[in-house]
Amino acid sequence: MRVMSENPDYTSTQTTEPRMLSGADMLVEVLRKEQVEVVFGYPGGAVLPLYDALYECGIRHVLARHEQGAIHAAEGYARVTGKPGVVIATSGPGATNLVTGLADAMLDSLPIVAITGQVAKSVIGSDAFQETSIIGISTPITKHNYQIQHASELPGVFKEAFHIANTGRKGPVLVDIPKDVAGEVAPFVYNAPPQLPGYQPTVIPHVMQIKKVLQHIELSHRPVILAGAGVLHAGASRELRLFAERFGIPVVHTLLGLGGFPADHPLFLGMGGMHGSAAANTALYETDLLLNFGARFDDRLTGNLADFAPTATVVHVDIDPAEIGKNVPTDIPVVGDAREAISLLLATEAKSPEISGWREKLLDIKAHTPFWYVQEGNVIKPQRLIEQIAQHTNGEAIVVTDVGQHQMWAAQFYPFVHANRWVTSGGLGTMGFGLPAAIGAQIAEPNRQVVAVVGDAGFQMTLEELAVVAELELPVKIVIVNNGALGMVRQWQELFYEERYSSSLMKWQPDYLKLAEAYGIPSLQIRDDGALPECLSAFLAAPGPGLLECLVAPMENVYPMIAPGHGLHQMVGVKP
Amino acid sequence: MNRVISVSVNNKAGVLNRITALFMRKGFNIQNLTVGVTETPGLSRITIVMNETDDAALEQVIKQLYKQIDVLKVTDLTQQPMVARELALIQVNSPVAQRSVITTIIEPFRASVIDVGRDTITVEATGKAEKIDALIALLRPYGIKELARTGLTALARDVAMVTEARRVSEGNVISI
Ligand SMILES: Cc1ncc(C[n+]2csc(CCOP(=O)(O)OP(=O)(O)O)c2C)c(N)n1
């Protein structure tokens, strides 16, 4: 006779009972349900139960060599995939080491779920070993944060955390898990949608506003599109291109928006802002209709606000209503997702404005004032280095940078024709971002060429992550743009502090080749311009990781430039 | 102009800290702040009085408040009919000989004596801030030993249509 429990029809009622799991096992289940492929992290006392659960659970864990490296890697992963990057750190010092990355992800709206261990509930607040109030510390630099009090809350909290990190204006969410919670057992239920009455991002814009935008487009004489990273977050590249083509409106990108609109498109004017192109900044200054799609009017873009788009009707499309009117007074606010907004703009009938004169004028400026540098002897000019990297990667690589002059040159001289292949720290300008972010990007896209362009100074801030490159044999190609200085600082001191180079020249540098050797990474150094093409093509074609130290012209400056406090029409160094 | 903002929030640990941290970061000054539970379980109301805030800054405050996951509703009560009250406890010198004088003073304010000591009495007063100011001014000559004010708490009057931060101004719709 058959036992009843063997009959699937009867047992099925049993399987709907929630499973009892420990907090640590719940975390693993959560990661599975959220389809997390990889977690970046670093263990320690308070997260040992979590790490024990992660052991052999099938989810990949990448051991960074510093928690800052772990979170920047998660950021690189998030930037390239558009999926949340997940990072784990222990309590106290592990958690505080995440702070820079949280702030970075906050300013650049990257979806991150950061999991920190915490001391046991019974000793929280007693200055226990490795205790810090990471909730207090991270409140201003996270989109939201949680401390879990009991394992039964864990599934709900994570459901919310992933939801909040990856919707609306994306951002970092931190979940702090006391050590004893990891051991508590509770029912695991993970299907209820999060109940967040206070969090209802507006995705579909108001139709009236869209109509208004179209009316202004029809009447405009000098329209320009300013496209920010919101376009990339919304996956709106295609819509952006269709929109620009349909109305014939030229496009300016912010630093972080690069790749959202193809750099080789005839309507592309380049990047705007402090080191932007003359065509882009002229357009932003003279426009009568500024169509901002997902840019937040950062001061590095606007320059002196008094001189920013002074005669324009300003349309601002943003998923975050608090951005609208924050820096630049807005005439037509459109709250919503960039893709939804542009799709609506495309779906309605409207005449294209007669703007051929304006377009020709800008394209003429573009043609006559490209980004420039002057070749001098056999020294490697950093701009040419970037040009050469672009050539040898066919403009197809994922380019990750650190922060400084090299970052600006990469933005100027690498033509980004695809979305999500440009990884840089914009809002916070975090030195040390480049190498770990490149690791995250390469893990996200194992088959695509990843080039990390880093400065000699920034590289030294997180170079311990070379160990990860070596251990995982990631084919990341690291290019150190060595100008023997904290280049961008040196440039500012040259221009604004009477060449008083206070602590910006590096009198001593490590032997980068030996460093690479110590990590088992093939490396070479180059200083002659003539050897650059051949050297680069071999370097980039070699399998596995590689480090190339380029000794470049040490006194080279980034131009054009808008000095601090000046307006978009006050660019210097537009021509050699 | 002083602004009175009413904020409905989830009653959870750390929420007040989030709200005040936001004011600190944006450099907005809080004149006073009261907080307590509401008729809805799990919800608290925070009443914030800000001094000298222009419209643009106020708009930022409201939008930033709305960005907090635990904030459900923000209402600017300043421009609309509201009932606003404050509570004060005033301990005033009051030798037995003067006690009847003081009780006469506080009577028109409908304040009451809630504690009597050897040399002092403690007066409880509720009302608009100006009324409490006036009472304090009258009691001051007798010697105020200690004073505690709660700060304003407020509700919109029933008649008013509550203009939430969903503002419809000059035909521009910002949906928040
Ligand atoms: C963590 C951090 N500290 C300081 C700075 C300020 N800063 C901006 S650029 C720069 C110099 C960067 O030098 P390097 O990495 O060599 O790049 P280069 O400018 O020479 O290309 C410094 C110090 C920063 N952005 N981040």
CB contact under 8 A, A321 and B14: no
pLDDT level of residue B29 (50, 70, 90 thresholds): confident
Task: Answer whether residue B160 shows pLDDT above 50.
Answer: no
- Beta carbons within 8 Å of B89's beta carbon, 6+ residues apart: B114, B122, B123, B124, B146, B147, B148
- Ligand 1 pocket, A82 CB below 6 A? no
Q: What is the pLDDT of residue A15?
A: 58
What is the rounded CA–CA span in Å between residue A229 and residue A395?
19
Distance from C-alpha of A206 to C-alpha of A94, rounded to nearest angstrom: 44
Residue A139 to residue B64, Cβ atoms within 8 A: no
Q: Please list every residue in chain A whose beta carbon sits closer than 8 Å to the beta carbon of residue B25.
A: 140
In the block, tokens 């997940």 appear at A86
Can you give the pLDDT at residue A77? 98
Percentages of chain B per state (helix, strand, coil), in multiples of 5: 30, 40, 30
The structural domains of chain A, with segments of one domain joined by +, span 2-188, 207-368, 382-551
Query: Which residue of chain A has the CA closest to B12?
Result: A146
Residue nearest atom 26 of ligand 1, based on CA coordinates: A431
Average pLDDT of every residue of chain B: 88
Name the CATH superfamily housing domain A207-368. Answer: TPP-binding domain (3.40.50.1220)
Q: Which amino acid is at A456?
A: D
Instruction: Give the burial string for B18-42 (b: 16+ CB within 10 Å, else e).
Output: bbeebbeeeebeeebbbbeeeeeee
**DSSP at A84:** P
- For the domain A382-551, what is the CATH superfamily, name and number? Thiamin diphosphate (ThDP)-binding fold, Pyr/PP domains (3.40.50.970)
Distance A293 CA to ligand 1 centre (A): 29
Ligand 1, atom 3, residue with closest C-alpha: A431
- At A561 the pLDDT is 98
Contacts of A144 in chain B (CB under 8 A): 69
A67 is known as an active-site residue? yes
Handedness of CA A138, A144, A150, A155 (dihedral sign): negative
Same fold, A2-188 and A382-551: yes
pTM of the model: 0.94
Nearest CA-CA partner of A174 in A260, A84, A81: A84
Tens-place pLDDT, residues A550-569: 999 999 999 999 999 999 99
pLDDT for residue B175 is more than 60? no
Question: Bigger pLDDT: A26 or B54?
Answer: A26
CA angle in degrees (0–180, nearest 5) for A170-A176-A179: 155
Is the model's pLDDT at B114 over the cut of 80?
Answer: yes
Spatial distance between the Cα atoms of A354 and A264, rounded to a whole number of angstroms: 23
CATH-assigned architecture of domain A2-188: 3-Layer(aba) Sandwich (3.40)
Q: Which amino acid, one-letter code, is at A44?
A: G
pLDDT at residue A81 in the model: 98
- pLDDT tens string, chain A, 576 residues long: the values are 344 444 434 334 445 788 999 999 999 999 999 999 999 999 999 999 999 999 999 999 999 999 999 999 999 999 999 999 999 999 999 999 999 999 999 999 999 999 999 999 999 999 999 999 999 999 999 999 999 999 999 999 999 999 999 999 999 999 999 999 999 999 999 987 898 999 999 999 999 999 999 999 999 999 999 999 999 999 999 999 999 999 999 999 999 999 999 999 999 999 999 999 999 999 999 999 999 999 999 999 999 999 999 999 999 999 999 999 999 999 999 999 999 999 999 998 899 999 999 999 999 999 999 999 999 999 999 999 999 999 999 999 999 999 999 999 999 999 999 999 999 999 999 999 999 999 999 999 999 999 999 999 999 999 999 999 999 999 999 999 999 999 999 999 999 999 999 999 999 999 999 999 999 999 999 999 999 999 999 999 999 999 999 999 999 999 999 999 999 999 999 999
Q: Quote the pLDDT of residue A13.
A: 45
* Nearest alpha carbon to residue A262 among A248, A246, A251: A251
Residue B21 with chain A: CB contacts under 8 Å = 139-140
**Position of tokens 């708009």?**
B59
In sequence order, which residues have a C-beta less than 8 Å from that of residue A54 and are 6 or more positions away? Answer: A27, A28, A39, A61
% helix, strand, coil for chain A, step of 5 = 40, 20, 40
Instruction: Point out the residue among A140, A196, A325 whose CB comes nearest to the CB of B21.
Output: A140
Q: How far is A509 from chain B, CA to nearest CA, in Å?
A: 39
Pairing assessment for the beta strands A398-401 and A450-455 based on DSSP bridges? parallel
Name residue A187's beta-bridge partners: A20
- Residue B161 pLDDT > 90, yes or no? no
Question: Is A104 near ligand 1, meaning CB less than 6 Å away?
Answer: no
B51-86 per-residue burial string, b: 16 or more CB within 10 A, e: under 16 = eebeeeebbbbbbbbbbbbbbbbbbbbbeeebeebb
**Cβ contacts of B141 within 8 Å, gap of 6 or more:** none
As given in the structure block, the two tokens for residue A103 are 């702030």
pLDDT of the residue at B159: 62
The one-character DSSP state at B114 is: E
The C-alpha angle with vertex B158 and arms to B155 and B162, in degrees rounded to 5, equals 70
The DSSP letter of residue A310 is T
Quick check: is A571 catalytic? no
